[in-house]
Amino acid sequence: MPIPIIRVHGLGVELGGNPVLRDVDLTAAPGEIIAVIGVNGAGKSTLLRCLAGLQPPGSGELHVLDGPPRDDPAFWRDVVLVGDEPAWYPGLTVREHLELVRTVHVSPRFDVEAGLELFDLKERADASPLTLSTGQRQRLSLAAALLRPSRLLLLDEPERGLDAAFRQRLATILTEYAAAGGTVVMATHDHRLAEATLARQIVLTTEHVEHLETAGHNDNAENRA
């Protein structure tokens, strides 16, 4: 068993005086894909924000990569968070956004034309992101996230806006990322995406704010909240 790059033990978070996460345990090793599932409000985004160092834990221990997650440049060199839509540069096209990402990162994972092809953006390469459809903008967000080198991908509902065919392709892209040694933690409402990536599934519930962990893509991974 490789050394885990995520170790969470007894994590608790309160927001606005209410418990959102209580006693959450999670480990993830290089090459693993974890799907965090649960109803709206179960705490999936909060868990991702904790892993990204954006939400301090109320209790428990968090270890991500080399220590507690921290919102600083060294941490973000290895970690990518895809959540809410990023701000786009109005003057830059889709291709130029990817060129920008490729230019500023050492050892990008693929070239721009390959990225446009992989994320099905070739026909919109010269458009402004602001003129893209919702799903096309999500594909651009994911393309930029996957283009840069990283060890850990934190994805909050990556399926948002994507059609069925591209969700299938995304499963392949994430599987290949993990096969190359990367770790993925994704909050998702898409059981098919979780299953297609052979993700280990964890379920967050609201009723007792309890945490259940299940191995593999099995029947226990239903939404229990």
Ligand X SMILES: Nc1ncnc2c1ncn2[C@@H]1O[C@H](COP(=O)(O)OP(=O)(O)OP(=O)(O)O)[C@@H](O)[C@H]1O
Least distance from C-beta 183 to ligand X, angstroms? 20
Query: Amino acid identity of 11?
Result: L
Query: Contacting ligand X (CB under 6 A), which of 5, 6, 8, 20?
Result: 20
Within 10 Å of residue 100's Cβ, how many Cβ atoms? 14
Within 10 Å of residue 91's Cβ, how many Cβ atoms? 7
Q: At 210, give phi and psi (nearest 5°).
A: -105, 165
Binding mask 34-73 for ligand X (x = CB under 6 A): ----x-xxxxxxx---------------------------
Binding mask 162-191 for ligand X (x = CB under 6 A): -------------------------x----
Q: Count residues binding ligand X (CB under 6 A).
A: 12
Least distance from C-beta 209 to ligand X, angstroms? 10
CA–CA distances in Å: residue 138 to residues 4, 48, 96, 118: 29, 18, 16, 13
Q: Judged by CB, which is closer to ligand X: 79, or 186?
A: 186
The dihedral over CA atoms of 113, 184, 191, 206, expressed in degrees to the nearest 10, equals -140
In 3-state terms, what secondary structure has residue 171? helix
* From 12-20, 62-70, 174-182, 211-219, span contacting ligand X (CB under 6 A): 12-20
Give the footprint of ligand X on this chain (CB under 6 A).
Answer: 15-16, 20, 38, 40-46, 187
